[in-house]
Chains A and B, each alone.
Chain A
């Protein structure tokens, strides 16, 4: 079955610690995205990548970093510079821009600060 997987489902971060959220897709999609969702709010774009070894900042990139070494994988690191990281993180992917295409989401990772 094709899809997007995210791990872990829940992640706890201590003060001053960097943590990495995993996102893998086997849909052969070119573009991948990371969003942050806070309670009762919409999705805000953190980073996106159109092709391997290339990525762009979204609206709220500060305190986050990404890499795209493989087409299937787009991990997100929440650094200690992100002072309020508690949120639900969603990874998405989409094919190369086609008229009827959209973004498909993974199940999400909930990050909590200890």
Chain B
């Protein structure tokens, strides 16, 4: 049930763009994106709900394709501070209980070089 993230790693120059994908074989209610710096807690970026919406703030945006059960995270004009590991957490459409249960992908390591 773990979502599949691609690519596993990407290296960019400052100012370049990147796309990170997250795919699930199950029907999803939501996709949550986080960024984690080495040895630190994951920081929440944004949540996408079923319905095929797109969100963004600053130069980071994301989309959720409900038909494909796939979410993509777009980083435009990347900055050095964007470096880190990006995780998607998926919440199934049918999940037991009311607590938000997320299943995380294995992460995409993004390195932005000057």
A complexed with B: yes
Knowing A99-B49, A107-B40 are in contact, say whether A43-B87 is a contact too (CB < 8 A).
yes
Complex Cα distance A30/B100, Å? 11
Q: How far is the CB of B7 from chain A (nearest CB, A)?
A: 14
- Chain B residue, CB-CB nearest to A108: B41
Contact residue among B41, B43, B106 (Cβ-Cβ distance under 8 Å from A42): B106
Judged by a CB distance under 8 angstroms, whether B114 is at the interface is: no
Nearest chain B residue, comparing its CB with the CB of A105: B41
Q: Which of A35, A41, A43, A101 contacts B100 (CB 8 A)?
A: A101
Q: Which of B56-114 contact A (CB under 8 A)?
A: 87, 89, 97-107
**Please, how many residues of chain B have a CB less than 8 angstroms from a CB on the other chain?**
24
Please indicate the chain A residues that have their CB under 8 angstroms from the CB of B98 in the complex: 31, 50, 96-97
- Chain A nearest CB from B4 CB (Å) reads 11
Is A26 at the interface (CB under 8 A from chain B)? no
Interface residue A56 (Cβ < 8 Å from any Cβ of B): yes
B59 to chain A, nearest CB (A): 21
Distance A75 CA – B41 CA, assembled complex (angstroms): 17
Complex alpha-carbon distance, A31 and B39, angstroms: 24
Scan residues 59-102 of chain A and give those whose CB is less than 8 A from a CB of chain B: 88, 90, 94, 96-97, 99-102
B110 to chain A, nearest CB (A): 14
* A34 contacts partner chain B, Cβ-Cβ < 8 Å: no
* A103-B89 contact in complex given A42-B105, A50-B97, A97-B98, C-beta closer than 8 Å: yes
Closest CB of chain B to A11's CB: distance in Å?
14
Evaluate contact between B104 and A103: CB separation under 8 angstroms. Answer: no
Q: B103 to chain A: which residues have CB within 8 Å?
A: 45
Interchain residue pairs with CB less than 8 A apart (20) = A31-B98, A33-B99, A35-B104, A40-B107, A41-B107, A42-B104, A42-B105, A42-B107, A43-B42, A45-B102, A96-B98, A97-B98, A100-B47, A101-B100, A102-B44, A103-B102, A104-B44, A105-B41, A105-B43, A108-B39
Residues of A within 8 A of B (CB): 30-31, 33, 35, 40-45, 48-50, 56, 88, 90, 94, 96-97, 99-108, 110
